[in-house]
Amino acid sequence: MIDTTIDVINKLGLHARASGKLIEVTTKFRSFIQIGKGDKLVDAKNIMSLLMLGAGKGTTLRLVIEGVDEEKALEEIQSLFAAKFYEAE
């Protein structure tokens, strides 16, 4: 099991388009992936749950991944966040 944090660094935060891109990544994996603030974790494969987080720029999110492909899932999620969801700023 991986339990780490990730920072939201893109200008608009985890808005609808960014959440959609995160869903594209998370749904590729068999691992159970949760994201949230502190103890309030949500399913990172559910668009409505992600939008309800209200994670703006500068938010530090907790990321919990458990499953057979957890390392690869972490790598791709970190890359997506680092690339600022491939949005022009």
Residues marked as catalytic: 15
For 63, residues 6+ apart whose C-beta sits below 8 A from its C-beta are 2, 3, 4, 5, 6, 33, 34, 35, 44, 74, 77
> Encoding tokens for residue 89?
């700023």
Task: Give the number of other CB atoms < 10 A from CB of residue 58.
Answer: 9
